């Protein structure tokens, strides 16, 4: 696996380098305390829940939420540089085409699985440790099914990220090591 050292500003430059995609955070309310309040305080207007239907207040606090990020937001800076200190598995970033609703609909299909005997189950597919085991093993058609409208996924990995990207032969993995910004 290739390791790429990047500052947070360089990472933002890579994430927002394509005008045809959005950077959307998948945020786990079970891992990040006060997530709905944080989203409101950050001024993130384009958000949605990964869970279908109305949620009770206690469920809303722990729900997985999607939020469209912008490079100039303090919330984005916090996710890239500091969220891992609160929860190593806070969620992930998706660079995706088609907007929030399209991504939400696709990700909901990943979260709803059935056992061999037909019992519906919720699956915490966005757990970074699960992605690290699963994604490198996918063949091309499985990668296409899993990624859907997603061009790349960044999952927190200590003080950096594992970056997953679809390729013709499956999934390419690269480690992004966050480094301090150069002093001007």
pLDDT in tens, 14-51: 999 999 999 999 999 889 888 888 999 998 888 898 88
Which DSSP category does 32 fall into?
A: S
Give CA–CA dist 181/138, Å, rounded: 35
Q: How many helices (H) and strands (E) does the chain have?
A: 8, 10
In the chain, how long is the greatest CA-to-CA distance? 61
Residue 130 CA: distances (Å) to CA of 56, 100, 173: 28, 23, 14
Give CA–CA dist 133/26, Å, rounded: 19
Indicate the pLDDT class of residue 7, thresholds 50, 70 and 90.
Answer: very high
Does the pLDDT at position 182 exceed 70? no
Q: Name the 3-class secondary structure at 1.
A: coil
């Amino acid at each position: 696996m290739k390791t790429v050292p990047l500052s947070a500003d360089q990472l933002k430059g890579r994430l927002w380098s394509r005008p045809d995609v959005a950077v959307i955070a998948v945020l786990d309310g079970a891992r990040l305390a006060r997530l709905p309040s944080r989203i409101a305080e950050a001024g993130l207007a384009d958000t949605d829940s990964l869970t279908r239907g109305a949620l009770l207040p206690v469920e809303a606090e722990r729900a997985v939420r999607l939020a469209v990020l912008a490079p100039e937001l303090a919330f984005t800076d916090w996710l890239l540089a500091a969220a891992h200190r609160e929860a190593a598995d806070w969620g992930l970033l998706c660079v995706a085409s088609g907007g929030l609703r399209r991504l939400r609909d696709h990700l909901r299909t990943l979260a709803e699985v059935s056992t061999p005997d037909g019992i519906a189950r919720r699956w915490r597919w966005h757990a970074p440790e699960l992605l690290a085991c699963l994604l490198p093993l996918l063949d091309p058609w499985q990668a296409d099914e899993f990624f859907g409208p997603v061009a790349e996924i960044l999952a927190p990995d200590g003080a950096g990220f594992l970056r997953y990207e679809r390729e013709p032969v499956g999934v390419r993995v690269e480690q992004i090591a966050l480094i301090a910004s150069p002093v001007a």
